[in-house]
Structure 1
Amino acid sequence: MSQLASPPRPQTRRRDVLRRVVVALLAALTGLSLVPTTAGAADQTLTWTAGNSVTAYLTAPETAVAGTATIIFENSRATGNTTGMPHTLTFDTSTPGYNHDVDLNIVANPFDANGGYYEAEVTLTPGTYRYFCSIPGHGPMWGELVVTGDGGEPDPDTTAPTVTADVTGEQDDDGAYVGSATVTLGATDEDGGSGVDTVEYSLDGGAYAAYSAPLQVSEPGAHTVDYRASDVAGNTAEGSVSFTVVEPDVEPEPDTTAPTVTAEVTGEQDDDGAYVGSATVTVAATDEEGGSGVDTIEYSLDGGEYAAYTEALTVSAPGEHTVDYRATDVAGNTAEGSVTFTVVEPDVEPEPDTTAPEVTAAVTGEQDEDGAYVGSATVTITATDEEGGSGLGMVEYSLDGGEFTHYHEALTVSEPGEHTVAFRASDVAGNVGEGSVTFTVVEGDVEPEPDTTAPEVTAAVTGEQDEDGAYVGTATVTLTATDEEGGSGVASVEYSLDGAAFAAYTAPLEVSAPGAHTVDYRATDVAGNTAEGSVSFTVAEEDVEPGPDTTAPEVSATVTGEEDEDGAFVGSATVTIAATDADSGVDTVEYALDGGDWTAYTAPVEVTEPGAHTVDYRATDVAGNTGEGTVTFTVVEADEPEPGECTDTRATVVVDGVDTGVANAETEGGCLNDLIDEDGDYATRGAFVRHVGDVLRPHVADGVLTARELSTILRAAARSTIGA
């Protein structure tokens, strides 16, 4: 957490400016961060400064110690900002492998109310923080701050945890447990410090299982419980306890009491008590008095057949409804109930977006007489979602057949030769538009002229208009900026709605509040040149009633993967199902593999079994209409790699989908990802963590990995679901 401090008084501020000028000059010359502190200040003061550059901060600290800290960020004339270029100091709170407990985002420029000078109080914890400038086009401005707790890296945990077992229950004169014995396991890791990861037990020589609650043993006879605990670092402690269970003299009374079952209806209600749009019925059952325990819970909607109750039931069909429900305990006793309610349609239902965004690419740069780009070519991708209306989701590009990458600024290609850039844009509703552009780059001999020309920026307002020209319901403002004449490329695009503060423009702006509106906008290129504009319009209220939905959803499936010459998929095939419904909306998507049971579709289905396969699929909308389809394909076995060959060629080490950021180096036994072997057979997550430590620890000694990189990979393994 962080808190911005108030700006200093004018007299104090003038003295502070002089001190900061000296500090900035010394920091630039020595690489040190020198900031005067005052009585009652935080444990330490950390200073970042910025200027005209969009590729690096002028000064930034590299290390700190855990505790409170005063963060100073200055982007002012005193630190050399002569163009008015805005910058931010933003702490990363999402990238794996970094600390995420400081939420800091300071925006500063020489012409703001503070003259580009800000302070914030934060609390730092041991680990590494990633910081960056979030202004579009300033992507290279980032770094890391390493925070230590005691001035150095913590020692690795090599001490096994402490694990104990306690056997309780009623005992006879011989010490045997009457009826049952309860084994309670306890584990701590105070000495090691990495924390307990798994606790497991084995009853009478059986397979080890995860311990989650005290173990009750009621089978008469002698028993032995072996137990073990592993910490996050992979250290394991073991133990064993033996005891005897004898039968009790008296049998328990039979359960003749039905369980207690209730139902609750929730949702938005109108003045008449009817549920608007949908009602949710939650059924709960207990069997405290009978004691045998609840066995099944079932429900029947509007007189239909009873079905197993597994989760809250949502009813969206307009009209009166009755849900009958019942619960049965293990002894066979049943309790029943019923609840009645009414569902009405909401006033307005927005039309779903089924139209893909429009996406184009422009290639700019100096060209020779053959049309080739001299020295480099700049590819600028522009995407809008005016017709669909759900708004842009993501824009991506692929250079020369490589993997698609998130597009956030103009792409410069300087490698001589012919190039192809494929590009695509998806909107919030999942529709995708795509295209490609091909060009040639040749080597150049002349340095480009400096960019002194402002970019071009325009605004287009779209939407349904009434006869007075007002936009009905919503007006969408799309900004477009190019820098073809200047050539340095667009760095940022910003807008201000109705006189509010300027904000970064990342997607078309939807304005739905009725009334007159004005959008001011501006664009700045990498060289700092700025162009401005303004557009005004009026929004009128919308009055639309949707009709009933009688049309089935559109559903399709695509099969992807590596194919051989016969079109068979090598090693595996991935089936991706897509469904859209322009009326009431998609409710469920399901699939059945090779004639099996229907299963809810939540993610692409990977099929690895060699042979011919058929996937049936279907989608049902909220109104109950269903669309279906089938796709058929063949999977063949992949060729076995040579011993020691690197088969997992990803650039970094990835554990259970988490990118650790550690380079996937090659070894004699294959790449690091090959050695980790995520698909191996591990009894527990602790066993997987121990395996990772065993196969990677030797590579710290031979210099392939550092101790810190090994610790990062082990933390990712401990947080994974592998073996769990």
Structure 2
Amino acid sequence: MSVRKMLRRAGVGLAALLLVLAPGLAPPAYAVAAAQTLTWTADGDVTRYKTAPATAVAGETTIVFENSTATGNNVGMPHTLTFDTSTPGYNHDVNLNILANPFDATGGLHTATVTLTPGKYRYFCTIPGHGTMTGEFTVTDGPGDPDTTPPTVTGALSGTQNPAGAYVGSATVTVTAADDRGVAGIEYQVDDTSWTPYTAPVTVTAPGDHSVQFRATDTSGNVSTTGSVQFTVVAPEPDEDVTPPVATIALAGDRDDAGNYTGPVTATISATDDDSGVATIEYQLDGGTWTIYTAPVVVSAPGTHMLHYRAVDNAGNVAAEQMSHFTVVEPDEPDTTPPAVTAAVTGTRNPDGAYVGVATVTVTATDDGGVATIETQLDGGGWTPYTAPLRITAPGVHAVGFRATDTSGNTAAAQSTAFTVVADGTDDCADSDLRDTVIIDGDDTEVPNADTGNGCTINDRIAERAGYPTHAAFVRHVENVTRGLVAAGTLTDRQAGTIVRAAARSSIGA
């Protein structure tokens, strides 16, 4: 036997069983629970718990909270049963917070075991808009006087009525019972037939005058007085509209991965009726007043929201109240911050700070939302994707530009780092260019091709065949080489200018 059936058979606490009876299906037997059990029930109403206990005795207690189709919640409304642990004047020794809705894993039926102490406890529902769902109960040291008070029992009629008050097509009787120490069972009979255990609203369709009687028994065996309701059922006219309209809702808005709306939610409610047509549509937001629906409802306040809606046709038939719940969260702030980008130059440096033989440039970028691309630019050339550290071997002054773009499209401002690469001093230029004059790309400058040390000539230092990313990079390299040779006394300023102009006229690096 499932936990659900065991609890429902126990029937302790306040009970109102609201399952629809299937024709010919016999209801289960009803038994009395032996241990103390306190039961709360809820339905689609956000203003109160449907049933709740008023007293209990100290000791270990089973808490039952049911918010299901069986208790009348046919709209999926969630509720919590939460014990107050902060308000002065109440016991704060029980931490209880149960969330239930008819469509959760247990169908809205939840249990917990707690230990109650003498005093008073306050309980409430934590969902926004359900602020009036609250109450309290008193716990005594023991059972006190014997229970001689029978439960109270009531019956309510529902259905479509004609102007004379008769129910058109059918009438439904819903029976509820309450007792401070628990209801064991409810019984009913239609038109003085025979007493039958009550497990769901009773629908009578036969035309004529009818009487439904009902009574309840508590866990101490006290039986209530018999109550009854009388009514008349009439058959609908052949063309009479007794069918309520059908109402639907559609929600629209941006959502995150968890299904929450990250901004305003637009609720569009519609209704159809094939017979007399739709007269009005109404909605209720977060337990507020019912309002005539004339345009889509926009909800932007962060939090969990409950939107109830219903429709009425021109014959007065009211559609069953429905509910849609959703959560709005604060949208993330747009990412307008570009990545942080740095570049580091490494290699062996001479006393002047120049990199000997090779300089390696490593670019790093970081961004909270993620880096999409990194780009570099060598000596004023085009921007190219950065995939690995750059190795610069061409002698001369170099500038490496760098920038990065994040996944939101923000691009960091371009930066650059400058450095000088010189030929490796251990190279004795064994294959030295020994032409008499400095010649660049076939252009004879008539400047003597002097030895600059280590067996290397000026032509060796210019290294016109080393490979340069751009013509400008080659010219800058020649400027750097001649500047150093002027400082060393190898060239005059005039000779250096002649060599640089020849480099500018060349097509090297173009």
Structure with the greater alpha carbon radius of gyration = 2
| TM-score normalised by L of structure 2 | 0.32
Q: Which has the higher contact order (CA 8 A, sep 6+)?
A: 2
